[in-house]
A and B are shown apart, each in its own frame.
Chain A
């Protein structure tokens, strides 16, 4: 057991170190590179210089947001996979992200943001995500039809319905709102509200901490719900709380960064290969790897056609969907 703990600790340190390096990379790369040495110099006595403001007003918030969203999506993905016992499930493929986006769009159109404050954005995102999860969940218990493929199909169809609703909203909304909506649908880390960024980061780290209260339950549920019950796990309560947690994580991510697909699929896939299937290491592993992946993708999105910028969702979408097809065809024996 000691050796297991040491192995897990080593991996956590390695991933944290990688996250740190990637963050430094993201801070230094871009139009007008800033080298690492200079970053240190700037931290201590660069205040007021243009480079200082590029670093701290533009790039640092993006890195923080990348950490928050990547971590939240990686974590949500691995938790949902555990609950539905399906390795292809994640907020995006289940339509949960789309649900959150619908919530946010409605918020923009009805100007709730201006009347109720900026917090209404993540809150409506959360409500949208909860709605979709409730639909999936009630279908899965009532009909028992949501086995592997059925669940995914219904998730994709729910995404379609919600995307169509978003387009309907776009079609009837005014030009001023349109920009905001398009931005959310494409997915980007170009958020300017520093308060929202800090909030997203806080929620995502708290989410990681909270998820650890369920690590044994998730391990037990990986054997099947009946088995988990026989191991004394309160399955219904665990599911309910974890659904709320993933809705919160997804809702906040989407309300700040828009729909960024497949992170919750790609990341757990690789982390499982690397670290095994024990949720005690999977949770933190997916959080850190998700953050690394997101910051890398965002950096790529910034520099690939510089000075223009790609939406980061485009990059994760291309990478993620390819992996999805690969996994799906390789594991066609999934029951």
Chain B
């Protein structure tokens, strides 16, 4: 569905992404992990067309995204940002904004179909009961669900999420990840999600991509990427990787060795 070829992105003279190559198959659930400043968010922005790559190609369903109009791209790719500031509008109005790429020329109002899709998106994301609340008056966990609902209203084939669980409590983290997993499995949505929490990534993703300094260090199955040697070189801390007895997925425990103490 998505193929990245030799992707290089730079802000000015500073290279952020350096010669990335990978593929995302249809219905895949790909997690992008890596330390701060590895280029994860930049990768999302390049795929969604917000920044232009310096070199390389981003091929979506066989077509170079450079050749696609932004409106066309918005019908296929939806982005869930980390956070959002907006003027005070209701949750329902907010989710309706996701229909904008589908408006016909001179269409002024949402059609009955647009409305149906919005209602369904609200229900799927579990925020239907909040639809008349103002977006600035709901909790941050609820807001993240609303952001996903808006992305769903866009009816995308590929969902890009930038740290959807950042700053949320564990209950909400699981709720968000379960929702994404459900969308991936039942609606056939391809997912590319940037995550900081290695264990969430391990539990939910079927493939991982480990970035560091704008380069792919490793990609593939969770067991291949999450081995302690790779992690230790990338994150510069020590790791213990065990098997989660319930899910049979890797379970990552970071631990610190105080180097000052070791000297004595």
A97 within 8 Å of B (CB atoms): no
Give chain B interface residues in 112-136, CB to chain A under 8 Å. Answer: 112, 114-115
Residue of B48, B84, B101 most packed against chain A (CB within 10 A): B101
Nearest to B110 among chain A residues (CB) is A1
The tally of residues in B whose CB lies under 8 Å from a CB in A reads 35
Q: How far is the CA of A190 from the CA of B72 in the complex (A)?
A: 51
Q: How far is the CA of A67 from the CA of B98 in the complex (A)?
A: 35
Q: How far is the CA of A227 from the CA of B135 in the complex (A)?
A: 16
B75 within 8 Å of A (CB atoms): yes
Interface-located stretch among A52-60, A112-120, A216-224 = A216-224
Q: How far is the CA of A222 from the CA of B78 in the complex (A)?
A: 17
Nearest to A219 among chain B residues (CB) is B97
Check A222–B87 contact: CB distance below 8 A: yes
B45 within 8 Å of A (CB atoms): yes
B262 within 8 Å of A (CB atoms): no
Check B79–A230 contact: CB distance below 8 A: yes
A143 within 8 Å of B (CB atoms): no
Nearest to A334 among chain B residues (CB) is B85
Nearest to B115 among chain A residues (CB) is A1
On chain B, the residues within 8 Å of A222 by CB distance are 86-87
Q: How far is the CA of A222 from the CA of B69 in the complex (A)?
A: 21
Q: How far is the CA of A25 from the CA of B77 in the complex (A)?
A: 55
B103 within 8 Å of A (CB atoms): yes
- Min CB distance B76 to A, Å, is 10
Check A232–B69 contact: CB distance below 8 A: yes
A277 within 8 Å of B (CB atoms): yes
A226 within 8 Å of B (CB atoms): yes
Q: What size tier do the contact residues of chain A reach?
A: 20 to 34
On chain A, the residues within 8 Å of B74 by CB distance are 230-232
Give chain B interface residues in 159-198, CB to chain A under 8 Å. Answer: none
A173 within 8 Å of B (CB atoms): no
Check A219–B49 contact: CB distance below 8 A: no
Check B89–A232 contact: CB distance below 8 A: no
Determine which of B70, B81, B88 lies in contact with A227 in the assembled complex, contact meaning CB atoms within 8 Å: B81
The interface residues of chain B, by DSSP majority, are classed as mixed
17 contacts between A and B (CB under 8 A): A4-B109, A212-B108, A216-B100, A219-B97, A223-B97, A224-B81, A226-B50, A226-B81, A229-B70, A231-B98, A232-B71, A232-B74, A232-B75, A232-B101, A233-B71, A276-B93, A280-B108
A210 within 8 Å of B (CB atoms): no
Q: How far is the CA of A229 from the CA of B81 in the complex (A)?
A: 12
A327 within 8 Å of B (CB atoms): no
Q: Closest 6 A-B residue pairs measured CB to CB?
A: A232-B74, A232-B71, A232-B101, A277-B87, A230-B79, A231-B100
Check A1–B81 contact: CB distance below 8 A: no
On chain B, the residues within 8 Å of A227 by CB distance are 79, 81, 84
A232 and B100 contact, Cβ closer than 8 Å, known pairs A224-B85, A276-B89:
yes
A-B contacts besides A223-B86, A232-B101, A234-B70, 19 pairs, CB < 8 Å: A1-B109, A1-B111, A1-B112, A1-B115, A4-B109, A216-B103, A219-B100, A222-B86, A224-B81, A224-B85, A227-B79, A227-B81, A229-B70, A231-B100, A232-B73, A232-B75, A276-B89, A277-B89, A278-B93
B154 within 8 Å of A (CB atoms): yes
Please encode chain A, from 1 to 18, with 1 for each CB lying within 8 Å of some chain B CB and 0 for all others. 100110000000000000
Q: How far is the CA of A219 from the CA of B93 in the complex (A)?
A: 10
Q: How far is the CA of A227 from the CA of B162 in the complex (A)?
A: 13
On chain A, the residues within 8 Å of B45 by CB distance are 226
A231 and B89 contact, Cβ closer than 8 Å, known pairs A1-B110, A220-B97, A226-B45:
no
A335 within 8 Å of B (CB atoms): yes
- Min CB distance B149 to A, Å, is 14
Nearest to B69 among chain A residues (CB) is A232
Give chain B interface residues in 56-78, CB to chain A under 8 Å. Answer: 69-75, 77-78
Check A232–B81 contact: CB distance below 8 A: no
Check A230–B109 contact: CB distance below 8 A: no
On chain A, the residues within 8 Å of B108 by CB distance are 212, 215, 280
Q: How far is the CA of A287 from the CA of B125 in the complex (A)?
A: 38
Q: How far is the CA of A254 from the CA of B15 in the complex (A)?
A: 47
Determine which of A5, A226, A231, A276 lies in contact with B97 in the assembled complex, contact meaning CB atoms within 8 Å: A231
